Amino acid sequence: MTEPMPHPLPSYLNPKDPGPWGIYLQQVDRVAPYLGPLTRWIETLKRPKRILIVDIPVELDNGQVAHFEGYRVQHNTSRGPGKGGVRYHQDVTLSEVMALSAWMSVKAAAVNLPFGGAKGGIRIDPRDYSQAELERITRRYTSEIGAIIGPNKDIPAPDVNTNAQTMAWMMDTYSMNEGMTATGVVTGKPVALGGSLGRVEATGRGVYVAACEAARECHIDIKGARVAVQGFGNVGGTAARLLHEAGAKVVAVYDHTGIVHNAHGLNTLALFDHVRTAGGVAGAPDSESLTPEEFWSLETEILIPAALEGQITQDNADLIHTKILVEGANGPTTPEADDILSSKGTMIVPDVVANAGGVTVSYFEWVQDFSSFFWTEQEINHRLEAMMRAAYSAMSGVAREHQVSLRTAAFIVACTRILEARQVRGLYP
């Protein structure tokens, strides 16, 4: 028996990466024992398929020429074209974009969407640039990555600091370069341009469905269940409203302006009105304010972090007394906090499934663009709820079978699907 061949890693793939890519690699190593013969292919998950780094030269409004660094990483396309957002942020790094692209592979596969994972970004603080400059930056970036994106190759979407307008510019640039109107090259577009109804609320609606499924599994009645939510924006606000409508008591809401609490339940519709006029939840009528420590210590059935990453850490995990934690945000729970909560018996519904409603409706948008036939909002919500329930059920079945957490189970489901596709496709050339 000869020794296996060593597999030297390219220099940019540091296996001891202390950043997001390193965290992702640890997660893959944790599921390896559950992949059976597919473990043979596991290295596929540890190396992005394609990394493109582009220079973006742009003439600024003052006549100077500035250069920006942009990325598009396609982590895996075994199950379908790449899918993932484009982030504009001054802290964007290749390690971060690689990890985010890998998590998109996992998220798409966990929900059984026929997509691989990709992500893009430009290292830029968009607040420093005019709308006209941002348009030129977006168009040049799109042209530079144009060779590797496309409705059948890789479909970008909005992420941090990008929006429907950014997608409209990307779609237009790609279409002009290709000499055709290609609406399906991006998702998250304005509805006037082939965007989907229901997209804005999709992630929050998915969080709501995941919370209901978890409650059912824990024999908790949603009616009367106490819910606390961090983040009252697109994701947290929608989830809170839907839970309130289903009879739950939203007892506390935490946003960037403060924390409001009412033990009998806040009126989420009135809270939306207050946020619209006051800019945040602080000072909402019929509520008292809490400190962050008091918020995390609240006894609840359901806690939904839906604001920022890294909010639940080893410093506050001990305070938390909730039966179910539904991760609306990406990465809100650190690995140390995850261990503390799991040892207390808290059920954690992981981000890769809990907040997958957005990418699911992005998938619906892409399907509608291909067929040029658009669905009603009711149809979209109905299909979204069915896909979220199926994803939850696949994850929880594997968790029971292997006696592992829902997070590990979601990774097992996703990595198995990706590597099965890899295996049956085989290697070519």
Q: Which is nearer to ligand NAD, 308 or 386 (by Cβ)? A: 308
The nearer residue to ligand NAD, 154 or 255, going by C-beta atoms, is 255
DSSP label of 47: S
- Output DSSP code: residue 333: B
Q: How far is the CB of 48 from ligand NAD (least distance, A)?
A: 21
Question: DSSP of 85-130, one letter per residue?
Answer: EEEEETT--HHHHHHHHHHHHHHHHHTT-S--EEEEEEE--GGGS-
- Asked if residue 252 binds ligand NAD (CB under 6 A), the reply is no
Site track 260-299 with ligand NAD (rule: CB under 6 A), x = hit: --------------------x-------------------
Nearer to ligand NAD (CB atom), residue 68 or residue 254: 254
Min dist CB 62 to ligand NAD, Å, is: 31
How many chain residues interact with ligand NAD (CB under 6 A)? 21
Active site residues: 119
Q: What would the x/- binding string for ligand NAD be over residues 329 to 358, using CB under 6 A?
A: xx------------------------x--x
Contact by Cβ (8 Å): 85, 53: no
For 44, 114, 322, the CA distances from 416, given in Å and listed in that order, are: 12, 14, 31
Question: What size, in residues, is the chain?
Answer: 429
Enter the tokens of residue 357: 């409603």
Residue 307 is a binding residue for ligand NAD (CB under 6 A): yes
Q: Contact region for ligand NAD (CB under 6 A) — 31-39, 112-120, 138-146, 251-259?
A: 251-259
Residue 298 backbone zone (phi > 0: left; psi -120 to 50: alpha; other: beta) = beta
Position closest to ligand NAD via CB: 233
Asked whether 248 and 222 are in contact (CB, 8 A), the reply is: yes
Under rule CB under 6 A, residue 98 binds ligand NAD: no
Establish if 258 lies at the interface with ligand NAD (CB under 6 A). Answer: no
Q: How far apart are CA 275 and CA 328, in angstroms?
A: 20
Q: Is the dihedral of CA 125, 354, 16, 44 positive or negative?
A: negative
Is residue 196 within the footprint of ligand NAD (CB under 6 A)? no
Q: Which of 220, 250, 290, 306 binds ligand NAD (CB under 6 A)?
A: 306
**Contact call for residues 261 and 230 (beta carbons, < 8 A):** no
**Can you say how many angstroms the Cα of residue 389 is from the centroid of all Cα atoms in its chain?**
17
Cβ-based nearer residue to ligand NAD, 234 or 342: 234
Backbone angles phi, psi at 265, to 5 degrees: 110, 130
Region near ligand NAD per CB under 6 A, out of 19-27, 41-49, 127-135, 234-242: 234-242
CA dist., res. 110 & res. 276, Å (int): 35
Residue 328 interacts with ligand NAD (CB under 6 A): yes or no: yes
By CB under 6 A, tell whether 308 contacts ligand NAD. Answer: yes
- 370-429 positions binding ligand NAD, by CB under 6 A: none
First-last CA distance in the chain: 27
175 is an interface residue for ligand NAD by CB under 6 A: no
Find out whether 89 and 121 touch, Cβ atoms under 8 Å: yes
Q: Is position 231 an interface residue for ligand NAD (rule: CB under 6 A)?
A: yes
**Residue 150's beta-bridge partner residues?**
154
If one asks whether residue 321 binds ligand NAD (CB under 6 A), the answer comes out as no
Cα angle for residues 244, 246, 251 (degrees, 5° grid): 30
**Should residue 235 be labelled a site residue for ligand NAD when binding is judged by CB under 6 A?**
yes
CB of 202 to ligand NAD, least distance (A): 7
Tell me how far apart the alpha carbons of residues 74 and 51 are, in angstroms, rounded to a whole number.
6
Nearer to ligand NAD by C-beta: 117 or 140? 117
327 binds ligand NAD (CB under 6 A): no
Phi-psi region of 231 (alpha: psi -120 to 50; beta: other; left: phi over 0): left
Among 254, 295, 363, 411, binds ligand NAD (CB under 6 A): 254
For 136, how many CA atoms within 13 A lie in the half-sphere containing its CB?
A: 14
**Minimum CB–partner distance for residue 82 and ligand NAD (Å):** 17
* Least distance in angstroms from the C-beta of 36 to ligand NAD: 31
Position 232 contacts ligand NAD (CB under 6 A): yes
- Residues within the interface to ligand NAD (CB under 6 A): 203, 230-236, 254-256, 280, 306-309, 328-330, 355, 358
